[in-house]
Structure 1
Amino acid sequence: MRYFIELSYKGTNYHGWQLQPNAISIQELINNAFTTIFRTEINVVGAGRTDTGVHAERLFAHVDFDDEIDIKDIIYRLNSLLPNDIVINNISKVSKNAHARFDATSRSYEYRIFLGRNPFLTETTWQLTNKKLNIIKMNEAAKILLNYTNFKSFARANSNVKTYNCEIKKAVWIVTDKMLTFHITADRFLRNMVRAIVGTLLDVGNNKITLEDFKQIIESRDRCNAGTSAPSQGLFLTSVTYPKTIFMNE
C-alpha cells in the first residue's frame, strides 16, 4: 500500500533533501525514522530535491507498506524521532501507482528578501540594505518569463537533464512592509533555476541590465550570461499539487 507523506522542514542544518554519501540530508533522517519504527529498511521517494540550506513549507514523498498503517500513531512517532526542524504534517493513502515526483502537476517556490537587517531572519531570508530596487521593472522582467519555455540560461551548468523546458504559470514580486517576496509556479524546475532567476531579476532591479538584456539572456540558453544565484537561505518550496484522483480519501 502506498502513502503520501506531507512534511515541512527548515533546511539550514542539512545538505538538501536527497541522500548524500558524506552529509546529512532530510531524506536520510526520514528513512531512519521509518526504519526505527518498522524495524526494517524503508526508503521514501520525494517530489523533488532541494539544495543545501533551502527550506520546504510543503513537500511530499511517498512510501510503501505491506499493510495499512495507523496514520495518527505513525505521525506522532515520526515527529518524536525527528529533529524539531523537520515535521511530518500528514500522511494520506494514495493509489498504488501514485508517484510523489512524476504525478506532481505544479510546484511553487517563494524567494524571500528582507530589506534591512533582522537577526531573527538571517537563516530564512536574504537580507539587503539596498532599498532602491526598481520593483516595477523587476515585475516587468518577471512577466517576460511566461513567454518562454526553455530556461537553460538559469540551470546549473552541466545539468544532466533530458529537457530544459518548463512551463512557468506565475512569476511576481510582492512587497509587504520590509519583506520582498518572489512567487513562482511552474510544472517543473531545473536545479538552481529559481535562485538564478532571482539573481538575474535583481540585476534588472539594480539597473545593471535592461528588460531587453533579460530577454537576450533567456534566449542565449547560456548560464554564463545570467546573474549570480541568490543565496540558498531565502528559498522556500511552498507547494506541490497533485490530481485529487490519486488520493484514496478524497
Structure 2
Amino acid sequence: MPAPRVLRLELEYDGAGFAGWAAQPGLRTVEGVVRDALGVLLREPVGLVVAGRTDAGVHARGQVASLATSSGLPPARILRGLAGLLPPDVAARDVREAPAGFDARRDAVARRYEYRVLTGPPSPLRRALVLHHPAPLDTDALDAAAALVVGRHDFRAFTPTRTEHVFFHRTVTACSWERRGDELVMTVEADAFLRHMVRVLVGTMLLVGRGAWPADRLAALLEGAPRGAAGRTAPAHPLTLVGVRYPDDDGRAAGPAATLPGT
C-alpha cells in the first residue's frame, strides 16, 4: 500500500460558539466539527494535529492543522467539500498537500496572536471582538511593557497555577501595541505559548497602561514569579490567532494547493 498523504489545512473560525479547539466529550469544539466533516469527505477516521490549541471563545484566521490520509481525493475537492459541510462559524481557507512527515504543531517555528482593546465609546457591532476599556491608556507605558516581554523568559506568572505545562520558558520574537482607529491592538509572536499566556499578558499590561503599575514591575514577573503576582486574565473574545510561521519562505508546507476563489 502507498504511504498516506499528508494534508495541510488553513482554518478560520469564530470561537464564540466553541469550547475551544480540542475535542471534548459532549462539547462543541473546532477540532470535533472539522474532524467530523473530513471524515464524511475522506470516508475514514481522521486525526488532526493543530499548530495552536485555542481556548474557548478565542478566534482564528490563520490556524493550521495537518492530517494523514489514504484518500486520493484532490485538495480542491476537499476544499469545496468542506465549504458545504462546515458550519458558518468555521471555514477551511486553504487545503494543500504537504511533505511526508509534516506536522502542523511540531514544525511551526512561531505563532502570532492579536488582542483588540477598544478605548473610545462602546461599539455594539464590535462587542464580540473587542475588550471595551473606557479609562484612558498610556500608549508609551504600554510600549515599554511590551518591549520587556521580547526575548526568552520564564512565563509561569502568566499561566494558571494548575497546569499540564512542566516547562515555562518561551521565546517571544515580537510584542507591540498599535493604534488602529479607536482600537489599541497588541500583537505578540512567540515560538509557543502557555495556556492563557497572551490574555494574562494583556491583563497585566493594562495595569501598566492605566498607571496602576510601573512598566518595570513586569520585568520581575518574567523571572518565574508565581501566577498571583501578575494581573488578571483578560477575556477570551478579543483574542485571535492570526498566523503560524514555518521554516519555508512563504510560511506554508510545499505542495499543490487549493484555495477558494477570491481568497
Question: What band does the TM-score fall into relative to the shorter chain?
Answer: over 0.9
Aligned match of 2:76: 72
Give, as a single letter, the amino acid of the residue that structure 2 aligns with 1:91. Answer: V
User: Which runs of no fewer than 5 residues in structure 1 stay unpaired?
Assistant: none
Q: Is 2:49 aligned against 1:45?
A: yes
Give the C-alpha shift of residue 87 in structure 1.
Answer: 0.8
SS of aligned partner of 2:76: helix
Q: Is 2:120 aligned against 1:118?
A: no
Aligned match of 2:36: 32
From 252, 255, 261, the equivalent of 1:248 is: 255
- Which one has a larger percent helix, Structure 1 or Structure 2? 1
- With structure 1 as the length reference, what TM-score do the two structures score? 0.95
> 2: CA distance between counterparts of 1:220 and 1:77?
47
State the Cα deviation string for residues 189-229 of structure 1 (Å, max 9, x = none). Answer: 11100000000000001111112322222225211000001
Q: Is 2:108 aligned against 1:101?
A: no
RMSD (Å), alpha carbons: 1.5
> 1: CA distance between counterparts of 2:228 and 2:189?
24
Tell me which moved more, 66-75 or 200-209: 66-75
> 2: CA distance between counterparts of 1:127 and 1:40?
45
Give the C-alpha shift of residue 162 in structure 1.
Answer: 3.2
Give, as a single letter, the amino acid of the residue that structure 2 aligns with 1:120. Answer: L
Tell me which moved more, 145-154 or 240-249: 240-249
Is the contact between residue 8 and residue 95 of structure 2 (CA under 8 Å) also seen in structure 1?
A: yes
Is the contact between residue 208 and residue 215 of structure 2 (CA under 8 Å) also seen in structure 1?
A: yes
Q: 1:73 to 1:148 in 2, by over 3 A?
A: closer
Identity among equivalent positions (%) equals 28
SS of aligned partner of 1:233: coil
Aligned match of 1:173: 177
Give, as a single letter, the amino acid of the residue that structure 2 aligns with 1:248. Answer: G
Give the C-alpha shift of residue 101 in structure 1.
Answer: 0.3
Aligned match of 1:218: 222
Tell me which moved more, 114-123 or 63-72: 63-72
> 2: CA distance between counterparts of 1:185 and 1:67?
35
> 2: CA distance between counterparts of 1:147 and 1:189?
13
> 2: CA distance between counterparts of 1:212 and 1:114?
25
Is the contact between residue 151 and residue 171 of structure 2 (CA under 8 Å) also seen in structure 1?
A: no
From 209, 213, 226, the equivalent of 1:209 is: 213
Aligned match of 1:128: 133
> 1: CA distance between counterparts of 2:158 and 2:106?
22
- Superposed, 1:131-142 pairs within 5 Å as 132-142=136-146
SS of aligned partner of 2:150: helix
**Runs of 4+ displaced beyond 3 Å:** none
Is the contact between residue 42 and residue 73 of structure 2 (CA under 8 Å) also seen in structure 1?
A: no
> 2: CA distance between counterparts of 1:77 and 1:212?
52
State the Cα deviation string for residues 48-99 of structure 1 (Å, max 9, x = none). Answer: 2100000001000011111432111111111111111101011111111110
- Superposed, 1:44-63 pairs within 5 Å as 44-63=48-67
> 2: CA distance between counterparts of 1:169 and 1:14?
29
Give, as a single letter, the amino acid of the residue that structure 2 aligns with 1:181. Answer: V
> 2: CA distance between counterparts of 1:11 and 1:147?
29
Give, as a single letter, the amino acid of the residue that structure 1 aligns with 2:248. Answer: K
> 1: CA distance between counterparts of 2:132 and 2:94?
32
Give the C-alpha shift of residue 249 in structure 1.
Answer: 4.5
